[in-house]
Amino acid sequence: MTIKTIAAALVMGCGLCTAADSLSMQLFRTLAKETEGNMAFSPQGVENVLNTLKKYSAGDTLAELESLPMGKAPAFNINVKQADALFVANNLPLVPGVKDAVSVNFGQSEKAAQTINEWCRAHTNGLIKKLVQANDFSALTAFVATNAIYMKEKWQFPFDPSDSFPGEFTTADGKTVSANMMSCTAKFPAAKGEDWVAIALPYAASAPTGEPCYFIAISPTKDIRNFATSLTDAKYRAIINRIGYAGGQTRVVMPSFTVDASTLNLNNALKAAGLKKIFSYADFSRLTTSQTDLYLSAVLQKCYVKVEEQGTEAAAATAAIVNFRAMPRTVVLDRPFIWVIGSLSANTTPLFMGIVKQP
């Protein structure tokens, strides 16, 4: 094979999409439209929290979650650490048999956020320090399902730091910026299409069994935004199939980079993918015996990715926040309030009325 130089404008991938129109690709297209600058998200992290919601849902909520075209997570030959947790309001009555739920007073929102953020930090090797904040919670929060993913792997064919050089990278808006360009020549699977060039960089196997994992870089020959927002599973599979596993030497030149992404709100992307009713009403009767209406308030995710000469370190933390539609059985009057002594009939005259500004 002729030596090929590939300067990669990068789109991450690790594994194949098998559904005709996978949830992963639908979310990617929506986020590519919504996000300015670098973008990173974990499809697996999203699907993991949705599977937790599915585990405890019933009726229309279960049917809606089951209708999503979620994929099957492959077992890779690299070590990927994953963890799930369920944080439930301390006033939420649970169905008998629900185990490992962590009781939280969401009315104390600062402490609740700290508890969840500390869990995220512990399960992402300290990379995700703050997924949620205090104003994400209130006394109306019923429970939060969380997932964390962490990986740190070396390349099968590492880049020699002595071959790295200061180079130029052309940004999406046509500007030129300086970048640390890494260079390596090895048996990399690579291919070129009508409007793209792509390469797959294998990770060194660190687990005894499993499917090989790659860092797949796809560089469009034209506008990255148009390419990303129109990328379908069919086109992605075509690119993967073209890359193949042909022998021969390929040279790759690419920048080292770090993406410490802001927390993403995935509500719009999930609604576009088919989740509708769950954001207005949700049936989680396999988790709680509460008769109070529930709904999915937000799905939040934060990612960190670092690609350098030695390999890749990446982490993601995801949270699905479910709220009470009506007031829960515990009402905390910890702010000034109006008080009335009288009847619940609207047309009757109260005996007394007042305001408590300071007890």
The pLDDT tens digits for 250-288 are 999 999 999 998 999 999 999 999 999 999 999 999 999
Complete domains list, the chain, with CATH: 1-333 (3.30.497.10)
Cα dihedral sign for 122, 125, 129, 133? Answer: negative
What is the pLDDT at residue 350? 63
Which band of pLDDT confidence, cut at 50, 70 and 90, is reported for residue 172? confident
pLDDT in tens, 316-344: 999 999 999 876 555 656 667 667 666 56
pLDDT band at 13 (very low <50, low <70, confident <90, very high): very low
Q: What is the pLDDT confidence band of residue 349, given thresholds at 50, 70 and 90? A: low
Residues forming a β-bridge with 150 = 81, 315
Which tokens in the block code for residue 142?
A: 């019923």
| Residue 74 CB neighbours (<10 A) | 15
The Cα 107–Cα 176 span in angstroms is 49
Question: What pLDDT is stored for residue 6 in this prediction?
Answer: 41
53-83 residue pLDDT tens = 999 999 999 999 999 999 888 889 999 999 9
State how far the Cα of 69 lies from the Cα of 60, in Å rounded to an integer.
16
The C-alpha atoms of residue 61 and residue 281 are separated, in whole angstroms, by 8
